[in-house]
Structure 1
């Protein structure tokens, strides 16, 4: 309730009520409103120019923003570390694994392909921290691409390793007769004197003398291709198909211990020493074919002989003597 004010009228010798003029009241109200707006404007200017003044919500949002920057920074560092580790794996893949298995290295262009052309990060532009976010997405995309390429490469290496393991198991790598069962290595690969015609001719295998009935072993994993006496001069003989272009032949046998189509492993008993066919004495005539061409079996005993034993066999094989077949 507003206070009522009076004044003393000396002419009437009485108190009279002070009546406010309407225009004056309106002016006073306008001045008050203007003062309020002016004070509010001044407070707003002060608020905007004093950064320390923040509302609780602004403080919470600012903390979240700083935390986001921190997390993106940590993520970028982790991706950089992962890229360094992956680069080391890629280097070993190109210069060790693929080189060992005779596979072509993967070029850098292929590992990094697929990131040119259109701007795939347009939707991330226009924000205060766009550069930070875009850089993180780029690193993650590059890392993902390189991991996919490397994963496929390792799958290929695993396949090559498995094939290499099969190759090493299949290649003839031992002598067909155990060293302790041999009487001697009668004749090697090269020019020799024919025991029947006494004429020099090329001897395409190695002759290992041993008593009749001495076990003859498969020199590598294979499938029995032939076990018969229908090949001129070899008598009863066995041919093993090792795959990868390799075939081994065992001639002049006494009898067989395998059948055509049978799978054998290196060291399996396949037959017995004899003197069938064009032969002068019990022995096994041993040949190796590579892609249809006869090659020196002496180069395929690495899986059995010691260096000293190999040197002894080498010396005997180089002697130009008379063969037994």
Structure 2
């Protein structure tokens, strides 16, 4: 029950009852409601600024979890990248080197796979973390491409390994003339003095001094590419294709013991030492080519030399002296 209020009327000297108008009641009610509304809005604003709603708390926790998973994924990708680099280094420097296969160029390994254009829809989306997602997807694409190239390389190495007997038979692994005392190596691979021009020139093979008619042996299994008689350069010379990129050349011969197209075995006599072509003394000029590039033949003399003999012949071949033939007209 509401209290009845009175006021003292000075004119009548009596207490009169306070009469409240409906208009005043409405105004007071509206004022109270307005004040309550302002206070409520203020409280909501303060709470929303400093305190998360249950939904916001859940979303914030979800974002934190996603960020943690992203960091974990990024770490795993980096670990996989490092492991793949180790495999690539072993592939280029060990496995492919053993089988005389050329290393895979870095430009091929690092080739792109479409880039960000593959993810046009993602780029055009309103996703707040699309840069993080795009970076991960791009890294995964590059990793997949490098893994694919590495698997193809292993397929090639496996094929070479399965044919290793044929591969080793094709490698020029012995000296082309008998040289038990290692005294016949007269001039090695590298810059040498030309015997005719008397200037230093690149000598692309190894010279073995020997008497006229000394037998010359095929240094690996192969097929005679040609037997050629010339009055200049290599003189009478033979070229053998051994397969797997190996080729050998034998120059300044006096006689052939094989013919073009004939198959030969390592150690088989193919001809005899001479003094034909631009030669200053009876000797054999011997070259090894791998995939069309001249290599130092001494590096392949592993089958008929022990470690000490190999070191000695390597030392002899490194001495800068005069070659026994001139090849200015090659």
TM-score, normalization: structure 1? 0.51
3-state secondary structure, aligned to 1:212: coil
Q: Is the radius of gyration larger for structure 1 or structure 2?
A: 1
3-state secondary structure, aligned to 1:252: strand
Task: State the match for 1:243 in structure 2.
Answer: 243
Aligned residues: 178
**Matches of 2:190 and 2:164, distance apart in 1:** 31
In structure 2, runs of 5+ residues without a counterpart are 1-86, 100-155, 326-330
**Matches of 1:214 and 1:280, distance apart in 2:** 17
Task: State the match for 2:316 in structure 1.
Answer: 316
**Matches of 2:217 and 2:191, distance apart in 1:** 26
2:174 pairs with 1:174: yes
**Matches of 2:157 and 2:315, distance apart in 1:** 40
Measured after TM superposition, the shift of residue 286 of structure 1 is: 0.3
8 Å CA contact retained: 2:230, 2:277: no
In structure 2, relative to structure 1, the CA distance for the partners of 1:243 and 1:232 (3 Å cut) is farther
**Matches of 2:157 and 2:194, distance apart in 1:** 49
**Matches of 1:274 and 1:198, distance apart in 2:** 22
3-state secondary structure, aligned to 2:299: helix
In structure 2, relative to structure 1, the CA distance for the partners of 1:309 and 1:159 (3 Å cut) is same
Measured after TM superposition, the shift of residue 164 of structure 1 is: 1.5
8 Å CA contact retained: 1:183, 1:210: no
3-state secondary structure, aligned to 2:163: helix
Measured after TM superposition, the shift of residue 183 of structure 1 is: 4.5
In structure 1, runs of 5+ residues without a counterpart are 1-94, 104-155
**Matches of 1:218 and 1:159, distance apart in 2:** 26
Q: Residue by residue, what CA displacement relative to the aligned partner does 1:75-119 show, whole Å, maximum 9, x if unpaired?
A: xxxxxxxxxxxxxxxxxxxx9xxx89779xxxxxxxxxxxxxxxx
What are the residue-to-residue correspondences of 1:23-172 with 2, within 5 Å? Answer: 160-172=160-172
In structure 2, relative to structure 1, the CA distance for the partners of 1:182 and 1:280 (3 Å cut) is farther
Q: Residue by residue, what CA displacement relative to the aligned partner does 1:189-246 show, whole Å, maximum 9, x if unpaired?
A: 0111011111111111000011111110000000000111248500000100001111
The root-mean-square deviation of aligned C-alpha atoms, in Å, is 2.7
**Matches of 2:208 and 2:243, distance apart in 1:** 25
8 Å CA contact retained: 1:213, 1:254: yes
3-state secondary structure, aligned to 2:166: helix
Task: State the match for 1:284 in structure 2.
Answer: 284
2:182 pairs with 1:189: no
Task: State the match for 1:258 in structure 2.
Answer: 258
Task: State the match for 1:202 in structure 2.
Answer: 202
